[in-house]
């Protein structure tokens, strides 16, 4: 038999390796930022176009590369960071595998300009799919500029697999923030499509956090500090009253590397025990320093997990340190952002006069009020009032015309069909609506447990889940509006001003067009302010923050195999936050509207999240039950 084993050509091998290192624009951003830090940069600039799909450029003022090194850097396993295997146990650089540049160059158009200190001229190299196109001398500032264009240009399947710009941008910003938070002593800037997203001068940790998450963050932070033989803890937790329901800033850094750890997260959550509002998540920025010999950072380029030798001790220490800080923040001096103390600790409270802890009572809290359904969206108790749900039927205004078209289920018209519930057997569960009780109720629908709508059809009866059904109706309506662009806005007398973090605003900016097609009119979007001048007629002003929060959290949690398109996410998310919930009483008109609109939908039987919207029970089913 002839020999059949061949060595893969380099460019093929590189492309295969790239699959591991480069999954999306954010992976490129991470690798390049880390290279700039390893090069000792004091200022790093990230420029991104189309969420990194068109361009990712990193400009640093680090040590640069010589002519030969510049060429070598694109070879696989070419690294300046380790020389022997022993170096692996004594790492103080982020990279060492020598794979990133080779991998990136295999799947993109790359342009490198670099000049080391002292050299008169620099080197300019262009590579496309591992092939060197240009190598020439050039004038360039000291440091390195690396531009990665048209990622996955030669792997269409990978390119198509990328998600919407808003989702990819979210990942890019996440990586940027993690690196920027780990290195407050380095200046960072980030630009997206010519707009400036972040401008972070070098400073202390608190200034960095505030630079990223906005000025209001300052007053929310509680310092955390502890030093023991095995561990140093520094950083901040966010006061419990500012915790968020669906989004939260949760950052652990171990020896300046961002890591994820469900176990340590649990320790923090345990420290907040009893302090967090229902379903809220703790936010924190915690920096742990441990002896590198006692951890095994999984150095796979895309992994952020870590193993500690003595996890239990860390858990206990973290928990008690945070508990201690939280217990003291009410008597800690107000933290002054301008003071240049990197980590104000509350430990000097002994020198201060005693301040009685404040007890805050929420007088509007009513435990008997109907509980909002889970995942209603992050509520921001401080800047908006409870949505006015009683006016929900306004959403149907103008929809009557479509309501009966294409209906696939025929409803009986006779009033008598409602008699089933008037027998007195089940008066509690099926409550004909008060407003119509006593008068002649022409309705043939009933509400069951304030959750289901029961109606009769020719073959028997149909039981509709009001929340899921309404989601379907709104989803199709929004989808139509977004794609056909024919929605109506109501101009607001006074513009609505909401505050969001830079990241959140960038995401909103990405979705702006879609939102405008549903009827939103935006004014100024800058700093941390979002100004809204007009809203869709189908929502009330107080629902706006709910809708936007839900949208942001849906984008964040979007799972890889769910809705690829941004339009779809937008429509789903708006439908979810605006749909009438279980527990809300519907009058007969609203019920009828909902039923008619549901069956006028293209796909009435399933909700946008693929749940049943209704079930039918036929006469035969009933006959069988009574046998
Ligand atoms: P690694 O970071 O694992 O060494 P990379 O492929 O990321 O591998 O980079 C290869 C080499 O190129 C690095 O070891 C470093 O010497 C050089 N290099 C990469 N980026 C920069 C940069 N921004 N400034 C200076 N040198 C760089
Ligand atoms: Mg590297």
Question: Using a 6 Å cutoff on CB, does residue 103 contact ligand 1?
Answer: no
Contact 550, 510 (CB under 8 A): no
pLDDT at 573 over 90: no
Give me the mean pLDDT over the 199-224 stretch: 91
Question: Using a 6 Å cutoff on CB, does residue 65 contact ligand 1?
Answer: yes
C-alpha distance from residue 520 to each of 188, 384, 487 (Å):
33, 18, 9
Task: Give ion ligand 2 contacts, CB < 5 A.
Answer: 35, 95, 100
pLDDT attached to residue 358: 60
DSSP 130-188: TEEEEEEEE---SEEEEEEESTTTT-HHHHHHS--HHHHHHHHHHHHHHHHHH-TTSEE
Nearest ligand by distance to the CA of 104: 1
Give me the mean pLDDT over the 515-537 stretch: 87
CA of 95 relative to ligand 2 center, distance in Å: 4
Nearest to residue 590, comparing CAs of 447, 430, 420, 404? 447
Give me the mean pLDDT over the 465-471 stretch: 94
pLDDT attached to residue 337: 43
State the number of CA atoms in the 13 A half-sphere of 557 facing the CB. Answer: 13
Query: What are the pLDDT digits (tens) for 163-211?
Result: 888 889 989 999 999 999 999 999 999 999 988 999 999 999 999 999 9
CA of 160 relative to ligand 2 center, distance in Å: 26
Question: Using a 6 Å cutoff on CB, does residue 589 contact ligand 1?
Answer: no
Give me the mean pLDDT over the 508-520 stretch: 84
Nearest ligand by distance to the CA of 81: 1
Q: Would you place residue 420 in the very low, low, confident or very high pLDDT band (cuts 50, 70, 90)? A: very low
pLDDT at 121 over 90: yes
Nearest ligand by distance to the CA of 97: 1
Question: Using a 6 Å cutoff on CB, does residue 39 contact ligand 1?
Answer: yes
Nearest to residue 548, comparing CAs of 561, 564, 536, 560? 536
* Residue nearest atom 1 of ligand 1, based on CA coordinates: 98
Q: Which of 213-217, 403-407, 535-539, 608-612 has the lowest mean pLDDT?
A: 403-407
Name which residue leads in pLDDT, 17 or 251: 251
Question: Using a 6 Å cutoff on CB, does residue 207 contact ligand 1?
Answer: no
Gap between the terminal Cα atoms of the chain: 75
Query: What are the pLDDT digits (tens) for 54-96?
Result: 999 999 999 999 999 999 999 888 788 777 777 666 666 777 6
Q: Would you place residue 454 in the very low, low, confident or very high pLDDT band (cuts 50, 70, 90)? A: very high
Question: Using a 6 Å cutoff on CB, does residue 598 contact ligand 1?
Answer: no
For the chain, give the mean pLDDT.
Answer: 79
Mutate to test the pocket of ligand 1, among 73, 96, 115, 125 (most ligand atoms within 8 A of CB): 73
Q: Would you place residue 247 in the very low, low, confident or very high pLDDT band (cuts 50, 70, 90)? A: low
Return the ligand 1 atom nearest residue 60 CA. 23
Question: Using a 6 Å cutoff on CB, does residue 55 contact ligand 1?
Answer: no
Mutate to test the pocket of ligand 1, among 17, 36, 79 (most ligand atoms within 8 A of CB): 79
Question: Using a 6 Å cutoff on CB, does residue 36 contact ligand 1?
Answer: yes
pLDDT at 415 over 50: no
The pTM score is: 0.64
């Amino acid at each position: 038999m002839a020999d059949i084993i061949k060595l893969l050509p380099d460019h093929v091998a590189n492309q295969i390796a790239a699959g591991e290192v480069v999954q999306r624009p954010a992976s490129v951003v991470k690798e390049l930022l880390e290279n700039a830090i390893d090069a000792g940069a004091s200022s790093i600039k990230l420029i991104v176009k189309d969420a990194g799909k068109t361009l990712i450029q990193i400009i640093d003022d680090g040590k640069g590369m010589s002519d030969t090194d510049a060429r070598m850097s694109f070879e696989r396993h070419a690294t300046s960071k380790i020389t022997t295997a022993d170096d692996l146990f004594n790492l103080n650089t982020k990279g060492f595998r020598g794979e990133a540049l080779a991998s990136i160059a295999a799947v993109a158009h790359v342009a490198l300009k670099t000049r080391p200190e002292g050299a008169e001229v620099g080197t300019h190299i262009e590579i496309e799919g591992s092939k060197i196109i240009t190598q020439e001398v050039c004038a360039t500032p000291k440091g390195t500029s690396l531009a990665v264009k048209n990622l996955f240009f030669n792997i269409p399947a990978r390119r198509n697999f990328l998600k919407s710009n808003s989702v990819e941008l979210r990942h890019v910003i996440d990586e940027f923030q993690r690196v920027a938070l780990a290195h407050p002593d380095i200046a960072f800037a980030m630009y997206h499509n010519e707009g400036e997203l972040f401008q972070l001068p070098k400073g202390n940790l608190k200034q960095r956090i505030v630079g990223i998450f906005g000025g209001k963050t300052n007053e929310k932070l509680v310092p955390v500090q502890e030093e023991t033989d095995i561990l140093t803890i520094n950083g901040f937790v966010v006061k419990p009253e500012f915790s968020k329901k669906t989004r939260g800033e949760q950052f652990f850094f171990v020896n300046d590397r961002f890591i994820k750890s469900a176990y340590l997260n649990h320790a923090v959550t345990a420290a907040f025990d009893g302090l967090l509002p229902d379903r809220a998540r703790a936010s924190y920025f915690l920096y742990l320093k441990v002896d590198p010999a006692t951890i095994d950072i999984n150095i796979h380029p895309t992994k952020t997990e870590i193993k500690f030798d003595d996890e239990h001790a860390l858990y206990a220490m973290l928990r008690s340190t945070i508990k201690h800080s939280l217990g003291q923040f009410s008597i800690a001096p107000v933290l002054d952002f301008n003071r240049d103390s990197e980590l104000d600790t509350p430990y000097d409270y002994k020198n201060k006069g005693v301040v009685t802890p404040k007890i805050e009572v929420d007088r509007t809290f009513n435990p008997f009020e109907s509980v909002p359904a889970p995942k209603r969206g992050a509520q921001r108790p401080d800047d908006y009032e409870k949505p006015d749900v009683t006016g929900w039927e306004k959403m149907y205004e103008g929809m009557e015309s479509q309501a009966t078209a294409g209906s696939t289920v025929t409803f009986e018209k006779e009033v008598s069909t409602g008699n089933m519930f008037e027998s007195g057997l089940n008066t509690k569960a099926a409550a004909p609506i008060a407003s119509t009780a006593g008068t002649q109720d022409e309705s043939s629908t009933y509400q069951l447990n304030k959750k289901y709508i029961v109606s009769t059809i020719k073959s028997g009866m149909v039981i509709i889940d009001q929340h899921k059904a309404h989601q379907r109706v709104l989803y199709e309506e929004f989808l139509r509006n977004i794609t056909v662009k024919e929605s109506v806005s109501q101009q607001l007398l006074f513009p609505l001003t909401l505050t969001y973090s830079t990241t959140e605003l960038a995401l909103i900016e990405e979705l702006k067009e879609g939102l405008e097609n549903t009827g939103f009119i935006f004014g100024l979007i800058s700093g941390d302010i979002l100004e809204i001048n007009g809203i869709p007629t189908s929502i009330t002003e107080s629902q706006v923050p709910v809708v936007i929060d839900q949208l942001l959290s849906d984008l964040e949690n979007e799972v890889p195999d769910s809705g690829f398109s941004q339009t779809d996410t937008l429509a789903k998310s708006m439908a979810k936050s605006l749909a009438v919930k279980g527990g809300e009483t519907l009058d007969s008109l609203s019920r009828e509207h909902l039923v008619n609109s549901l069956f006028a939908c293209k796909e009435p039987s399933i909700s946008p999240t693929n749940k049943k919207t209704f079930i039918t029970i036929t006469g035969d089913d009933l006959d069988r039950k009574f046998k």
